[in-house]
């Protein structure tokens, strides 16, 4: 039967309860603290990595990353994974956050909840995509809870909520026909019913942008501001932009050319995961080096070429941490199912959200998609557009200071 293999990847491990500040909610959601403990799975992962044999020489030479991750890069990652990467250290660091799980519509949803000490803090929901996870926002979570000021001098701090999308990390696998709109509905329940916030703001990138945009339009009484770094609409071609008399700055011309090149040569994975998720999911399910090749290539090619150097925190260790999370939680196969469940997740026909809530947008030079201000304004009440000379597809680790500053600007347009 089609997609019956998904049940094989349901997250069925027992996790130990951790310590954290209490969160008050209705009992029916079974809200409880959560503690990450995957250490028992690490020896087998390392054994799998150690026993994986790679070719002595590359099949192609002098292609860089144009045809995918290079053999030399993969060998370097593999060596670091075996000799210097320490999951116990990473796990200890991650457990410094307050993790929780709640049961909503039959799904166990994992999330981090970091609360500000400010009584007027804005609830902010941060949403990742693929091949990301809640790890994308680790560099900025605590900073967002601190009291700060916007560029105009307005005081701001946030209560930060970072969930794992259904089928990712510690959130359970959703039903076969689950869509981005379904995830939006569950997350609105999480914020308003489980955590008890009346209104909130949201940010999203990649598939998380689709969820955030769905929240922005469909839950317009509770979502009172949205901030995106990606759109759930296919970027316009240069010809389409010209037809609409949209002119571009030199930075925007670079971003447009980069996005069009990605459309020509970088979407092979998208077709595979949309049409044959079983094949790639099963092939790589118990193959950590295979997952590293598939996922690592995206981190390398979709990010700022200066990755790993300030302001970027996207080091090789960060990539290994992300791949380890996918492998140890057995969530690779269920994560790629997102594509098959949402084959039209990036629409070609632009529509405007039914809301008056402010929309903010951050563009980053090396992102794989580009939408100029006039295009973003088509889909919402655009009040602020910021374009950055550095950063890529994973802004929370590609350019944390820029994303942090941009998110704080939500306060300039926030109305309780």
> Which CATH number goes with the domain that contains 302?
3.40.50.1820
Q: Return the half-sphere exposure (C-beta side, CA atoms, 13 A cut-off) of residue 350.
A: 14
Tokens at residue 190, please?
A: 């999480």
CB 221 within 8 A of CB 197: no
Range of the domain at 237: 31-413
The catalytic residue among 168, 339, 366, 413 is 339
Tokens at residue 124, please?
A: 């902010």
Residue 206 appears among annotated catalytic residues: yes
The catalytic residue among 269, 393, 406, 413 is 393
Q: Residue 143 domain-assigned?
A: yes
Residue 216 appears among annotated catalytic residues: no
Distance in angstroms (rounded) separating the CA atoms of residues 47 and 52: 9
What's the length of the chain? 416
Distance in angstroms (rounded) separating the CA atoms of residues 273 and 43: 29
The catalytic residue among 73, 206, 304, 406 is 206
Tokens at residue 373, please?
A: 């201000």
- Terminal alpha carbon distance of the chain: 49
Which pLDDT belongs to residue 64? 65
Q: Residue 54 domain-assigned?
A: yes
φ and ψ at residue 153, rounded to 5 degrees: 90, 10
Of 238, 255, 257, give the one whose Cα is nearest residue 247: 238
306-343 pLDDT tens trace: 999 999 999 999 999 999 999 999 999 999 999 999 99
What are 29-32's contacts with CB under 8 Å, separation 24+?
Answer: 29/102, 29/103, 29/104, 29/193, 29/194, 30/101, 30/102, 30/103, 31/100, 31/101, 31/102, 31/194, 32/100, 32/101, 32/102
Eight-state DSSP code of residue 233: B
Residue 393 appears among annotated catalytic residues: yes
251-292 pLDDT tens trace: 999 999 999 999 999 999 999 999 999 999 999 999 999 999
Q: Residue 11 domain-assigned?
A: no
Report the domain count for the chain.
Answer: 1
CB 210 within 8 A of CB 187: no
Q: Residue 24 domain-assigned?
A: no
Q: Residue 110 domain-assigned?
A: yes
pLDDT tens digits for the chain (416 residues)? 222 333 333 333 322 222 233 344 467 999 999 999 999 999 999 999 999 999 988 776 656 667 899 999 999 999 999 999 999 999 999 999 999 999 999 999 999 999 999 999 999 999 999 999 999 999 999 999 999 999 889 999 999 999 999 999 999 999 999 999 999 999 999 999 999 999 999 999 999 999 999 999 999 999 999 999 999 999 999 999 999 999 999 999 999 999 999 999 999 999 999 999 999 999 999 999 999 999 999 999 999 999 999 999 999 999 999 999 999 999 999 999 999 999 999 999 999 999 999 999 999 999 999 999 999 999 999 999 999 999 999 999 999 999 999 999 999 999 86
Q: Residue 22 domain-assigned?
A: no
Query: Which residues fall within 8 angstroms of residue 29, CB to CB, at 6 or more apart?
Result: 102, 103, 104, 193, 194
180-214 pLDDT tens trace: 999 999 999 999 999 999 999 999 999 999 999 99
Q: Residue 108 domain-assigned?
A: yes
Q: Residue 58 domain-assigned?
A: yes
Distance in angstroms (rounded) separating the CA atoms of residues 203 and 187: 12
Q: Return the half-sphere exposure (C-beta side, CA atoms, 13 A cut-off) of residue 174.
A: 25
């Amino acid at each position: 039967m089609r997609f019956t293999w998904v049940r094989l990847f349901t997250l069925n491990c027992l996790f130990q309860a951790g310590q954290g500040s209490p969160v008050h909610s209705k009992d029916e959601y079974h809200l409880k603290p959560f503690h990450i403990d995957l250490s028992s799975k690490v020896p087998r992962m390392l054994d799998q990595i150690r026993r994986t044999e790679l070719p002595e020489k590359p099949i192609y030479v002098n292609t860089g990353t144009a045809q995918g991750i290079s053999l030399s890069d993969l060998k370097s990652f593999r060596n670091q994974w075996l000799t210097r990467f320490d999951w116990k250290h990473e796990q200890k660091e991650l457990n410094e956050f307050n993790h929780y799980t709640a049961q909503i519509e039959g799904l166990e949803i994992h999330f981090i909840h970091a609360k500000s000490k400010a009584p007027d803090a804005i609830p902010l929901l941060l949403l990742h995509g693929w091949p990301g996870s809640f790890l994308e926002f680790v560099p900025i979570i605590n900073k967002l809870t601190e009291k700060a000021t916007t560029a105009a001098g307005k005081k701001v701090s946030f209560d930060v909520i970072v969930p794992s999308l259904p089928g990712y990390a510690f959130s359970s696998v959703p039903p076969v026909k689950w869509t981005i709109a379904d995830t939006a509905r569950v997350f609105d329940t999480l914020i308003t019913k489980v955590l008890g916030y009346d209104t909130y703001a949201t940010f999203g990138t990649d598939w998380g942008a689709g969820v955030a945009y769905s929240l922005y339009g469909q839950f317009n009484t509770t979502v009172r501001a949205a901030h995106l770094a990606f759109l759930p609409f296919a970027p316009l071609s240069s010809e389409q932009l010209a037809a609409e008399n949209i002119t571009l700055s030199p930075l925007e011309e670079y971003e447009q050319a980069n996005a069009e090149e990605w459309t020509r040569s970088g979407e092979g994975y998208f077709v595979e995961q949309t049409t044959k998720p079983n094949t790639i999911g099963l092939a790589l399910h118990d193959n950590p080096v295979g997952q590293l090749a598939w996922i690592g290539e995206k981190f390398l090619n979709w990010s700022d070429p200066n990755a790993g150097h300030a302001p970027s925190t996207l080091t090789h260790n960060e990539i290994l941490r992300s791949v380890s999370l996918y492998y140890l939680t057995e969530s690779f196969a269920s994560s790629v199912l997102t594509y098959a469940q949402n084959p039209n997740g990036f629409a070609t026909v632009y529509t405007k959200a039914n809301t008056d809530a402010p929309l903010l947008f951050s563009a980053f030079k090396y992102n794989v998609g580009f939408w100029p201000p006039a295009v973003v304004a088509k889909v919402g009440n655009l009040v602020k557009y910021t374009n950055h000379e550095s950063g890529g597809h994973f802004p929370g680790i590609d350019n944390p200071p820029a994303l942090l500053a941009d998110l704080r600007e939500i306060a300039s347009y926030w109305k309780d």
